[in-house]
Structure 1
């Protein structure tokens, strides 16, 4: 019987599939670390108080990338190039999710609108990251190799999501509510398409590596499409709601170290 646990266990047990999984994860986290670092360097004076939190966000993402690379090294594996059609962060940027890299490479300060857009985009993508890590935590928190990494990253992703909620509510109260609502909706609808497409590519890659049957591949593809239909019909709304989180000032301190991995 197919289940999230059995599928991921197959990926975990095979060196080639595990190598691809960790390489994709490490690449995405490293990209997020760079983006947050640049945003922190260019934050406008009106939002200067956000600077340390954005730095913390980027430091967490860098740490996650190091953790996934350390998991590879522990098994004597080297990272592989991420297939372009499985590069979640790059595909999101093409859809307008996240600030353009040309803007981040420049030395011009960002605008307050840019910061609103950054936080709204992050609120959507951090929802996905939090849910995925919660799923892994549910099934692999006690795994001897993966458990500590999963718990640490999951806790960080929950902090990132809480930070986005809190800061967007602050900006909404300051007069940006209509803009935030529009960007959240546009971002969520774009993200669910990208997530579907990347999931299909990822499963096809894993199927080739692990020798899955055509029937199994068809069943997994049908499941991915079913998730997209659910999200398109209304599931996307969970990505756009805002509520004051239980974890206030979740990124108010320095990033926690991960000496057991890095």
Structure 2
């Protein structure tokens, strides 16, 4: 029977598919760490109190990248180059979602609107990350190799999502509500399309590595497209709603270390 658990188990059990999975994840987390670090350095004076939280967000992402690389080392594996069509963070940036890297590479302070765009982008992508890690925790929290890692990363992703909700609500109360809703909608609709394309590309490569029969690959591709159809019709709304989280000031302290992985 084809299920999410059996699919992930198959990927985890094979060195080459596990190598690709961890390499893609590590690359995306490292990119997120760099982006947040640069945004923290360029925060405008009016939002300087936000800088430590953005820096904490970046430190968490860097930690996650190290965890995925440590999982590879534990199995005696080296990272592989990330295929362009599977590079989620790069494709988002290329499609104008979030802050342009050219802006982040400079020294000019960001504007308040830039901070709104950053937080809207993070709110959408952290929704995806939180859901994906929740799924992995559901099936692999007790896995001897990846269980501790997925639980730690899942906790962090939930904190990131809570932080985005809280800060966007604060900015909405300060008069940025219309800009926030517009940015969230644009980002969500682009994200679900890019997530579909990346998922199709990743599954195609996994299928070649694992020797999946054509029927299995076709069924998985159909499932990915069905999820996109649902998200395009209605599912994207979950990515743009804002509610005050139970976990307040979720990024108010230093990043928790992960010495057992790094």
Distance 1:107 1:94 in 2: 21
Distance 2:99 2:15 in 1: 35
The alpha-carbon deviation at position 98 of structure 1 amounts to 1.5
Distance 2:190 2:4 in 1: 24
Distance 1:138 1:15 in 2: 22
Instruction: Report SS of the residue matched to 2:254.
Output: coil
Corresponding position of 2:8:
8
For residues 1-28 of structure 1, the C-alpha deviation after alignment (integer angstroms, 9 at most, x for no partner) is 1101000000000000000000000000
Where does 1:63-82 land on structure 2 (aligned, <5 Å)?
63-82=63-82
Number of aligned residue pairs: give it.
Answer: 262
Corresponding position of 1:111:
111
Distance 2:173 2:258 in 1: 36
Distance 1:42 1:23 in 2: 29
Corresponding position of 1:250:
250
For residues 192-238 of structure 1, the C-alpha deviation after alignment (integer angstroms, 9 at most, x for no partner) is 00000000000000000000000000000000000000000010000
Instruction: Report SS of the residue matched to 1:229.
Output: helix
Using structure 1 for the length normalisation, give the TM-score. Answer: 1.00
What is the Cα-based RMSD across aligned positions, in Å? 0.3
- Structure 1 unaligned regions, length at least 5: none
Distance 1:15 1:207 in 2: 14
The alpha-carbon deviation at position 188 of structure 1 amounts to 0.3
Distance 1:121 1:22 in 2: 23
Corresponding position of 2:201:
201
Instruction: Report SS of the residue matched to 1:246.
Output: coil
Distance 1:98 1:86 in 2: 18
Corresponding position of 1:158:
158
Using structure 2 for the length normalisation, give the TM-score. Answer: 1.00
2:37 matches 1:37: yes
Corresponding position of 1:261:
261
- Structure 2 unaligned regions, length at least 5: none
2:71 matches 1:99: no
Corresponding position of 2:214:
214
Distance 1:66 1:12 in 2: 18
For residues 157-199 of structure 1, the C-alpha deviation after alignment (integer angstroms, 9 at most, x for no partner) is 0000000000000000000000000000000000000000000
Large movers: runs of 4+ above 2 Å: none
Distance 2:51 2:189 in 1: 28
